[in-house]
Amino acid sequence: MQKFVYLFNEGNSDMKELLGGKGANLAEMTRIGLPVPYGFTISTQACNAYYETEKTIPTIVENQVLEALNILEEKMGKKLGDPENPLLVSVRSGAVFSMPGMMDTILNLGMNDETVEGVARLTNNARFAYDSYRRFIQMFSNVVLQIDGFYFEQFLEEIREEKGYTTDPELTAEDWQEVIAGYKEIVIKHTRKEFPQEPKEQLFLSINAVFDSWNNQRAIVYRRLNKIPGHLGTAVNIQSMVFGNMGNDSGTGVAFTRNPSTGESILYGEYLINAQGEDVVAGIRTPQPIATLKDEMPEVFKQFTATCDRLEQHYLDMQDIEFTVERGKLFILQTRTGKRTAQAAIQIAVDMVEAGIIDKKTALLRVDPDQLNQLLHRRIDDTFIRKQLAKGLPASPGAATGKVVFDADEAELLGNDGQKVILVRPETTPDDIHGIIAAQAVVTSRGGMTSHAAVVARGMGKACICGCEALKIDLKAKQFSIGETIVNYGDIITIDGSTGEIMLGEIPMIEPELSDEFQLLLSWADEVREIGVRANADNPTDAKKAFEFGAGGIGLCRTEHMFMDSTRIPIVQKMILADNFEDRMEALDQLLPMQQGDFEGIFEAMEGHPVTIRLLDPPLHEFLPDKEELLVEVTKLQILDPNSSELKKKEQLLKKVRQLDEFNPMLGHRGCRLGVIYPEIYEMQAKAIFYAAAKLADKGMEVKPEIMIPLVGHVNELKQMRQLVIDSGEKVKTETGIETEYTIGTMIEIPRAALTADQIAAEADFFSFGTNDLTQTTFGYSRDDAESKFLQAYIEQKVLPENPFAVLDQEGVGKLVEMGVKLGRQAKPGLKTGICGEHGGEKSSIEFCYKTGLDYVSCSPYRVPLARLAAAQATIRNVKN
Ligand code: PEP
Ligand code: MG
């Protein structure tokens, strides 16, 4: 018989897939003897079985739940629904990968009109009993009966106002009874039924609801964002309740064993006295920092810090721990590996190696390459004198500038329109997730460092400020005020998530630098990785940045970018418009020294490391004005100034634009096809490279040019272009008397080139896979059209698993890459191979490149650190013999 339900003493931390992260860790903590309230876990397989049987709990699961419940009741000496001594439980979701706040939780289950009296008697605290009952009605109604929480909050607010209270603790037992009666009315009004009194019915309805919440909108969005597969399902944890709201000797809190924002090794967290479960995370009351617990409950604090140390040593990683104190007794409700910023991830990994807790390879695997982007963002210029408008808690580091918006939907709307926005809310809830994704940063006026907004923002690497209480937000008027200052919807603010400061307007930012710990971790990555990392850079500034970030060379210098410069474009146009060879050569002669200067700068920046320079690639019309705009200008001139020389010039230009116009430029006259038809263009470029190399060699500098021919589909194209480059080299050698060592290679970016790679290898010293074009030509998509028209829908409808222009399609495009490497190396063992499409900076594609045996990946300068780490991880994960 399949087992679907596990008591806490039947599992361990290796059973995450079955028990979910929370369930597996509760079992593990029970196993090692920590004070965990007893309970059981319904497995993720039960969730899948639930969906397979059209959302009903199969009888076998139901029976196992009842059996486990019996054992729990025996162990606790209490019974669910027993008016004399009632057992109360929590029902919580728990997926394999943590999805904080995305799914549902129900506390105090087992409360009804009878048991509430029992609880009041047993605890000698009627106020507590009624408060707990009303919380249960509120949560159950919201999660299970799907009644908007607003109705309950509104009713509670009315009662508070009527009685002249400002906070909940002022309500008496009788007041809570009145609230309960009102809540029950709300339930009848919305469901036409009484609030369910039977505890087992409550239990099974709650289990259903938690399973359902696996597929609620916010959980789906979160999974998509974090690439968590939908088939995993969630487990459900049923745990006996402990109460943090039993008086001033009780409380509840959340703590991280290290600072999740900076990585500093000190206990970090917060708690609320006399409060229950979700109050801390929900960000409704701003809690106290954990350090003050030392004075308020010294014994509990001592026990808690010891438990935190024990958990960190047990799991060998930073833990995120939830705890409750019930009448002076500490209970641990959850532990999990804590989410952290990139800065913290690096600091913790490095510290743990230095403390001998983990080894370097483990440390390298602990940092997600994608997170590193956060550290490579610009930050506020230190020399700028800040005029702070308000200060909140520095919940997630980084600086951001954007328009103020007050609503998640609005943030999404503007964000998707390419606008930079900062989401400002009293607090955020899991329903705001889409707005947080679209925003540059989040600011809340309530809630602490472990509130929903803080946890989610840190997870996404977005700047976040929480608990900025000086901010008076008026959601209706779409504005907030700080003292006299009023900030309206759409006004620009800048925030610094590392200090908690909010400032008006846009503020100067500076380029990022790598911290010492970051450099150290990357140096470990370099020791381990068996695949090179280069950068795509087209100018000396980018080349310098790439070199500073650790690139071992330039994998792609797109020379067309040098043509686009505003001082050069008129010369390039002159070259294109030339009617005869002489005129074209005149323009090319003007361009040559300019290109030479660029190459000198790049060679110098790379200090003797290889530089792959690709000869001109785009179709020539890209250097001419837009046809339609030109047509409008010509038409205007024909009417206003029909005899002008300006009109003649423009008409000439239009004629050329029309000549060069293409139906499908992606597949048109570009790449080496230009070189074959206009060899003088490639010759000029090749000569500029050789002159630059000769000049630097003359100064005693080492240069390693690798000249690359784009878009080759037939070996004869390469053969011809290779000869042209060799001849140009000879000419420069004769002229300067300096011989440059160089290689000639090609891009493999047309399927035919991959299919005939053995023939092509005979003419090439290296291959560089241009997976941007290879993806276009393999799929038969033109990238711009695909991305703007159908690709998003394809991904949403799961026609494609990912955007193949971002993540290499290993099954299709990847097969061509494998074939290219294999055939190429068959013909020429030791053929150097690399990748220079966008995929060279994406972690799963980098792993593929390593497994396929490429010598290097090349990506944009800012992705070089990411690629170094991803390359190390690929090497560690795929040990080659
Ligand atoms: C490629 O096609 O992958 C490539 C690097 O070239 P480009 O993006 O310039 O076409
Ligand atoms: Mg290309």
Pocket test for ligand 1, best of 749, 750, 778, 833 (most atoms within 8 A of CB): 749
Pick the CATH number of 378-510 from 3.30.70.1230, 3.40.50.720, 3.50.30.10, 3.90.1570.10: 3.50.30.10
pLDDT over 70, % of the chain: 98
- Domain layout of the chain by residue ranges: 5-240, 251-337, 378-510, 529-618+668-877, 620-661
Query: If you measure from the C-alpha of residue 816 to the centroid of ligand 1, how many angstroms do you get, rounded to a whole number?
Result: 16
683 lines ligand 1 (CB under 6 A): no
Domain pair 5-240 / 529-618+668-877, same fold: no
Ligand 1 atom 9 nearest Cα: 558
Asked if pLDDT for residue 271 goes beyond 90, the answer is yes
For the sheet with 329-337, list strands across it. 288-289, 268-273, 251-256, 319-326, 329-337
Token pair belonging to 361:
């390879």
Q: Is 775 in the pocket of ligand 1 (CB under 6 A)?
A: no
- The band of 596, judged by pLDDT with boundaries at 50, 70 and 90, is very high
Query: Does the beta carbon of 501 sit less than 6 angstroms from any atom of ligand 1?
Result: no
Averaged over 702-710, what is the pLDDT?
A: 97
> Closest Cα to atom 4, ligand 1: which residue?
770
Using most ligand atoms within 8 A of CB, pick from 768, 836, 859 the residue to mutate for ligand 1.
836
**CA nearest neighbour of 304 among 282, 329, 287:** 329
- Taking the centre of ligand 2 as the mean of its atom positions, its distance from the CA of residue 371, in whole angstroms, is 28
Q: CATH number for the 529-618+668-877 domain, one of 3.20.20.70, 3.30.70.870, 3.20.20.60, 3.30.43.10?
A: 3.20.20.60
Report which DSSP code applies to 511: -
Q: How many CB atoms lie within 10 A of CB 632?
A: 11
CATH fold of the domain at 5-240:
Dna Ligase; domain 1 (3.30.1490)
Atom of ligand 1 nearest to the CA of 774: 2
Strands 251-256 and 5-7: unpaired
User: 10 Å Cβ neighbour count for 251?
Assistant: 28
Per-residue pLDDT, 659: 87
Any ligand 1 atom below 6 A from CB of 617: yes
Catalytic residue among 308, 466, 468, 836: 836
pLDDT for 773 equals 96
Segment 3-15 shows an average pLDDT of 96
H or E, element range at 626: none
- Whether 785 and 747 have beta carbons less than 8 Å apart is answered as no
Measured in Å, residue 775 CA sits from the centre of ligand 2 at 10
* Superfamily the domain 251-337 falls into: ATP-grasp fold, B domain (3.30.470.20)
Please answer whether residues 753 and 760 qualify as being in contact, where contact means their C-beta atoms are separated by less than 8 angstroms: yes
d(CA 669, CA 271): 67
Residue whose CA is closest, atom 6 of ligand 1? 770
Q: Is 773 in the pocket of ligand 1 (CB under 6 A)?
A: yes
Q: Is 452 a catalytic residue?
A: yes
866 CA to centre of ligand 2 in angstroms: 23
pLDDT at 460 over 80: no
Name the residue of 536, 538, 564, 617 whose CB sits within 8 Å of the most ligand 1 atoms, as the mutation to test its pocket: 617
Interatomic CA distance for residues 407 and 642, integer angstroms = 55
Nearest bound ligand to CA 835?
1
Indicate whether residue 717 lines ligand 1 (CB < 6 A).
Answer: no
Helices (H), 678-830: 679-698, 715-736, 751-755, 757-761, 771-779, 783-789, 791-796, 813-827
Q: How confident is the model at residue 717 (pLDDT cuts 50, 70, 90)?
A: very high
Give the tens place of pLDDT for each residue, 646-694.
Answer: 999 889 889 988 988 888 889 999 999 999 999 999 999 999 999 999 9
Nearest CA to ligand 1 atom 1: 770
* Count of H-run helices and E-run strands, the chain: 34, 33
Q: Model-level pTM?
A: 0.80
Instruction: Name the closest-CA residue to atom 10, ligand 1.
Output: 773
pLDDT exceeds 90 at position 860? no
Q: Please choose, from the candidates 739, 815, 724, 826, the residue with its C-alpha nearest in 3D space to the C-alpha of residue 775.
A: 815
How distant, in Å, are the alpha carbons of 49, 124, 125, 180, 189 from that of 247? 42, 11, 9, 20, 34
Q: How, if at all, do strands 329-337 and 268-273 pair?
A: unpaired
Phi and psi dihedrals of 608, rounded to 5?
85, 0
Smallest-distance ligand from the CA of 558: 1
> What does the pLDDT look like over 463-502, one tens digit per residue?
999 889 889 999 999 999 998 899 999 999 999 988 899 9
Task: Tell which atom from ligand 1 comes closest to the C-alpha of 773.
Answer: 2
Percent of the chain with pLDDT over 90: 74
pLDDT at 282: 58
- Ligand nearest to the backbone CA of 841: 1
Mean confidence (pLDDT) of the chain: 92
Q: Are 424 and 473 in contact (CB under 8 A)?
A: yes
Residue 280: what pLDDT?
65
Residue to probe by mutation, ligand 1, list 563, 747, 772, 778, most atoms within 8 Å of CB: 772
Helix, strand, or coil (residue 256)? strand
| Crossing angle of helices 581-606 and 569-577, rounded to 10° | 140
Lowest mean pLDDT among 374-378, 594-598, 643-647, 738-742: 374-378
Using the mean position of ligand 2's atoms as its centre, give its distance from the Cα of residue 454 in Å: 41
Please answer whether residues 332 and 36 qualify as being in contact, where contact means their C-beta atoms are separated by less than 8 angstroms: yes
Of all ligands present, the nearest one to the C-alpha of 556 is 1
pLDDT of amino acid 102: 66
Residue 840 contacts residue 849 (beta carbons within 8 Å)? yes
Beta-bridge partner residues of 488: 479
CB of 337 within 6 A of ligand 1: the answer is: no
Decide if pLDDT at 127 tops 70.
yes
First-to-last C-alpha distance (Å) of the chain? 43
CA distance 335 to 29: 8
Local confidence band at 283 (pLDDT 50, 70, 90 cut-offs): low
536 CA closest ligand 1 atom index: 5
**Ramachandran class of 550: left when φ > 0, alpha when ψ lies in -120 to 50, beta otherwise:** left
Does 209 score more than 70 pLDDT? yes
Q: Which of 47, 434, 452, 672 is catalytic?
A: 452
Q: Is 558 in the pocket of ligand 1 (CB under 6 A)?
A: yes
Query: How many angstroms does the Cα of residue 772 sit away from the middle of ligand 2?
Result: 6
What does each C-alpha distance from 193 to 190, 514, 670 come to in angstroms? 8, 61, 71
pLDDT of residue 167: 81
**Cα–Cα distances in Å, from 454 out to 260, 346, 422?**
10, 19, 14
Residue 192, phi then psi, degrees to nearest 5: 60, 25
- Measured in Å, residue 600 CA sits from the centre of ligand 1 at 23
Question: Rounded to the nearest whole angstrom, what is the distance from the C-alpha of residue 833 to the centroid of ligand 1?
Answer: 15
Residue where the block lists tokens 């639930």: 50
Alpha-carbon span 194 to 196, nearest angstrom = 6
- How far is the centre of ligand 2, averaged over its atoms, from the C-alpha of 368 (Å)? 29
- At 188 the pLDDT is 97
- Does the CB atom of residue 538 touch ligand 1 within 6 A? no
Using alpha carbons only, what angle is made at residue 266 by residues 261 and 271, rounded to the nearest 5 degrees?
A: 80
How far, in Å, CA of 321 to CA of 319, rounded?
6
pLDDT at 286: 75
Q: Could you give phi then psi for residue 281, rounded to 5 degrees? A: -70, -35
Give the three-class secondary structure for 444.
strand
